[in-house]
Structure 1
């Protein structure tokens, strides 16, 4: 009977938990009501990380001895990690609407992983078993050396991509910028580099200790990111908006027809009542206006003397006041949901802030 307090058992359990959580996190990125390009890129990275941690768990726990076929497309996953990590971090450091096709060249080395996997899959199961035994036992046969070169190439690819990205981060940083985002991104890049180093050393040295530490670091990264996303569901968009402040700082509204923009904004709020969507974000509204989130933020701040939340809630409360007076049969909860609030408490707080009274008192007093 397995001792649940055994370190090896706990480590194995943590590996497979990490793989499952990363996959769940990836699904969450593409199943939300609001999805952006960066969500799909991050989902791809998380799927690859999930597959990598799962397969490393198979290696460390010697499951591959009975099922060597479970390591199919292992090389492909290794070579996909670097370009997906690069694109994920790039979209935060230098936010863009879409990534140009030149970024596809980053995925060119994936062909090496595909070729290695294709060769591995053509081997009889006995030969697959012999290769894996040589690889993880530290043998220096020709097939094992070739496999280690493939793995080393994936590691060098990750170091090269993340090193270039780190340089990009320093180049685009200016005096006066908030240090929080660069430091957070630098920490993420350092952690990614650390886990890559540990996993690559695990392959080259045939060390299960390195594998375990590498996947433990990956687990900490995934769990931290998961809880951050649950506590702050819009943190990814927040990071991008903050980065865009720097990116567009010199020419926010230059060349923009501000008058036409304000007119279109009024149409969206007055006629289309876009504020009734309880999931409306700054970026959603900016997309409707074909401008960036930071351009919209500056438009609201400088031209309308307000911010996004206040601007949206003003329209919601104005609409709610009319409904409370003109539709006495509607409950306060029904009114709050219809105008775009996703909870009764949020409606009460906003209504009291704008009117100085509760919705019930407003209705009883006839709006006075």
Structure 2
């Protein structure tokens, strides 16, 4: 009875992951982080359904279900890291060495491809050998791939735990950090439990691991309802901790702020719609992370919001001083690359739409 409930929990969580993934695609203002979350939840859904097929022994009849299992798990951890990076540092591109994290997945893909093209009878024999702990070449290949993938997951979660431990001492946002810390501990535990399951061909260990993952997913879903901006809140609080070891030590921040103001007000670099954090950092002869920290600490905003604030002030002057210009023309002349982006940023900053702003000032002028 308990085992039946556990299996249904794993199946339910796997299907729920797919529904959650689809939900990320129908977000009205879809961002890169939504695409990342779609991939993450879809991968988690596949992993859970594959676990379900293992613990219920359906894999014996349909071995194709477990196809590319190692590849999927090898991909999951780098995508998880990338999702966090995009939220924490939206203005900075991930370092090129990040893409090296996908090399294990590429290697695993070759092995999984070999297993995929085996005939169905051979696959069924391999599955039977897996459960019987008979280490034929195909079974050994699968066990090694899956075990190393789980080990990689464990290392990624341990790295995240290492980042979170110092942040636990912060009073602000401590609940967010604590929630993520507990989730990471659970995920790391599920990885530790799963490894002997693969090595020994023991479905019980895989079942326990899948149950922990399922509970973690449900926990994450409920937290997402409680904290809709959970990822943003997490990144803000982790940033505060990382910034406690300041990257600005030894720099004349007063002079840097003056130079930054000069670039914005006099040279109007914000009018270039393709301006990036890297461009301005190179002009100031500091790193991207140093400039990001400088803007975060001194203005309490990220780089994109900082640049847009200057663009909006410039647009305000055009709306009043040049009433013959259309909103679209003003958007482009202010450095925005689309009318919708301009409208969203302007409304958020000014509290009214560009047309309402122009109309209000026109009425004041004639009153």
Structure 1, gaps ≥5 residues long: 1-5, 278-283, 302-306, 352-356
The counterpart of 1:49, out of the listed 21, 35, 44, is 44
Matching of residue 316 in structure 1 with residue 306 in structure 2: no
1:1-368 maps to which residues of 2 (within 5 A)? Answer: 11-22=10-21, 25=24, 32=30, 35=32, 46=41, 48-60=43-55, 63-85=58-80, 97-99=93-95, 101=97, 104=100, 109-110=104-105, 113-114=108-109, 116-135=111-130, 138-143=131-136, 146=140, 147-148=142-143, 150-167=145-162, 170=165, 180=174, 182-197=177-192, 199-200=194-195, 203=198, 204-207=201-204, 209-210=207-208, 212-220=210-218, 223=221, 231=229, 234=232, 238=236, 241-242=239-240, 245-251=243-249, 253-254=251-252, 257-266=256-265, 272=271, 286-287=277-278, 289-290=280-281, 291=288, 292-300=291-299, 316=312, 319-320=315-316, 323=319, 327=323, 340-342=342-344, 346=348, 349=351, 362-366=361-365
- Tell me, yes or no, if the aligned pair for 1:15 and 1:53 is still in contact at 8 Å: yes
Q: 1:28 to 1:299 in 2, by over 3 A?
A: farther
Q: Distance in 2 between matches of 1:111 and 1:72?
A: 15
Query: What is the number of equivalent residue pairs in this alignment?
Result: 333
Q: What CA RMSD, in Å, does the superposition of the two structures yield over aligned residues?
A: 5.3
Q: Distance in 2 between matches of 1:340 and 1:92?
A: 21
Q: Distance in 1 between matches of 2:250 and 2:93?
A: 16
- Tell me, yes or no, if the aligned pair for 2:186 and 2:212 is still in contact at 8 Å: no
Q: Distance in 1 between matches of 2:107 and 2:345?
A: 52
1:354 paired residue number: none
Q: 1:217 to 1:199 in 2, by over 3 A?
A: farther
CA drift of 1:348 comes to: 6.7
Q: Please give the secondary structure, in 2, of the residue aligned with 1:246.
A: coil
Q: Distance in 2 between matches of 1:202 and 1:19?
A: 25
TM-score by length of 1: 0.62
1:304 paired residue number: none
1:3 paired residue number: none
Q: Distance in 1 between matches of 2:44 and 2:10?
A: 17
Q: Distance in 2 between matches of 1:217 and 1:16?
A: 14
1:280 paired residue number: none
Q: 1:149 to 1:359 in 2, by over 3 A?
A: closer
CA drift of 1:126 comes to: 1.0
Q: Encode CA deviations 1:236-275: one digit per residue, 9 max, x unaligned.
A: 764675455335354385487544322221257587286x
TM-score by length of 2: 0.62
Q: Distance in 2 between matches of 1:295 and 1:257?
A: 9
Q: Distance in 2 between matches of 1:158 and 1:233?
A: 20
